[in-house]
Amino acid sequence: MSRILHLLVLALLVSTSVTSWAQNFIRGLVRLDNGQAADHVIVRLRSDKIAFQGETQTDTQGKFVFDGLYPSTYHLTIEGQGFRPYSSDIDISMSKMSYEQITLQLDKEPEARAVPAEGPAGPLNARIAQIPPAARKEFDAGRRRMKVQDDVGSAQHFQKAIALFPQYAEAYQLLGVVHLESGNLGEAEPELQKAAEIEPHMSTAQFALGICRNLMAKYAEAEAALLRGLALDPESPGGHYELAKTYWALGRWQDAAPHVQKAVTLKPDVAPPHVLLGNIALRKRDPQQALKEYHEYLRLDPHGDMALSTQRMVDKIEQALKQPQPKVSN
């Protein structure tokens, strides 16, 4: 076996975590209390515990994302003209993720609040406006139980929310995520599929469905879901990384390369994609670049799930590179 081929085989031993993109994030949907999307609103996030401060802006559908966060407690604030200031504390030190549904209270006269939603987000806003208060209460209770990792309790609340409002896509999504985190993939997939069917514009449901199908080795179906998610949210580093892993699993490393590179470009401080970049570098017969990527992973996450296998890979590559090169006879 040649040295390069030997390294290619070793690369297959460095596994990538399928669900790592879904960890350590806060995502949300912001709406006004008349049902309209709160688009282009500044959302600020800070954590005094880890000296973190950041901000982002909601998109035209009122969605926002903070990816690649360190597990901690965060303080989220939204301020602007026309609505009352909003703030909340979000703890992802255990759950590592949070999906926030935020309703901003308008400061306008009641007559102004009756303006119907228009544009592409209209159907989404109309559906949200129809959610009964009792269903919202169950949904919020489910999120609270989810944050303390009470899978059974959170699932029960989400199921009650769905019973009260069968079009509650967000409840289907989080119910699917609960099953996904519990390893109940057969139960997670139909819930996530239902969320995506009810609300086709919800990129997070497509991404979660892609993760689920990757774990089930349904790679072609995972690819379809992830591509739909990226069409909705083309700047999602997690979406690109997950799709790259789909292509890697299918043996299509050339297709994986641009997506994992995009993920790193968008979030260079997230460690796991560097392992996949290292594996791809070995496919390209570039062990030096592979070493660079593996070292970057170890620098960013020295105690991560892949740290031990990555360090072993580094040691084997460095040992192989030290061996004398065979002479080529004329």
Q: What letter represents residue 161's amino acid?
A: A
Distances (CA, A) of 184 to 31, 163, 176, 212, 237: 32, 21, 9, 10, 25
Tell me if 328 is assigned to some domain. Answer: no
pTM exceeds 0.85, yes or no: no
Out of 39, 74, 106, a domain closes at 106
Domain match, 251 and 303 both: yes
User: Residue 329: what pLDDT?
Assistant: 60
Is the domain of 230 the same as that of 140? yes
Residue 93 and residue 150 share a domain = no
Query: Which residues, in sequence order, are CB contacts of 106 under 8 Å at separation 6+?
Result: 32, 33, 34, 82, 83, 84, 112, 113
Residue 23 lies in a domain: no
Q: Could you tell me if 284 and 297 lie in one domain?
A: yes
Same domain membership, residue 146 and residue 99: no
* Amino acid at residue number 205: A
Q: Residue 117 has what pLDDT?
A: 37
- Claim to verify: residue 250 and residue 210 sit in the same structural domain: no
Residue 329 placed within a domain = no
Task: Give the closest residue to 289 by CA, choosing from 264, 324, 255, 323.
Answer: 264
| Same-domain check for residues 140 and 225 | yes
Cα–Cα separations (whole angstroms), residue 166 to 128, 137, 162, 322: 12, 15, 5, 63
Task: From 283, 220, 271, 211, select the one nearest 247 (Cα to Cα).
Answer: 220
Determine, yes or no, domain membership for 48: yes
Q: State the first-to-last Cα distance of the chain, in angstroms, to the nearest integer.
A: 22
Give 10-residue mean pLDDT values along the chain (330 residues).
46 42 75 86 83 81 86 87 88 79 76 38 62 89 85 94 94 91 93 93 87 95 95 86 95 96 88 94 94 95 91 92 70
What is the three-class DSSP state of 218? coil
Q: How many helices (H) and strands (E) does the chain have?
A: 13, 7
Rounded to whole angstroms, how far apart are CA atoms 139 and 119? 27
The pLDDT, as a whole number, for residue 326 is: 65
Residue 229 and residue 240 share a domain: no
**Other C-beta atoms lying within 10 Å of the C-beta of residue 283:** 17
For residue 165, being part of any structural domain is answered with yes
Shared domain check, 227 and 164: yes
pLDDT at 199: 87
Domain CATH for 83: 2.60.40.10
For residue 69, the enclosing domain spans: 28-106
- 60 lies in some domain: yes
Residue 244 and residue 222 share a domain: no
Specify the pLDDT at position 22.
43
Cβ neighbours, 10 Å, residue 188: 25
Residue 50 belongs to a domain: yes
Q: Which of 176, 209, 234 is the last residue of a domain?
A: 234
Residues 12 and 89 in one domain: no
Structure tokens at 176: 């699917």
Which of residues 204, 234, 264 is at a domain's end? 234
The radius of gyration computed from the CA coordinates of the chain, to the nearest angstrom, equals 22
Query: Domain holding 221: CATH number?
Result: 1.25.40.10
Number of domains in the chain: 3
In a domain, 114, yes or no: no
Q: Do 54 and 66 have their domain in common?
A: yes
Q: CB-based contacts of 314: which residues, under 8 Å, 6+ apart?
A: 291, 294, 295, 298
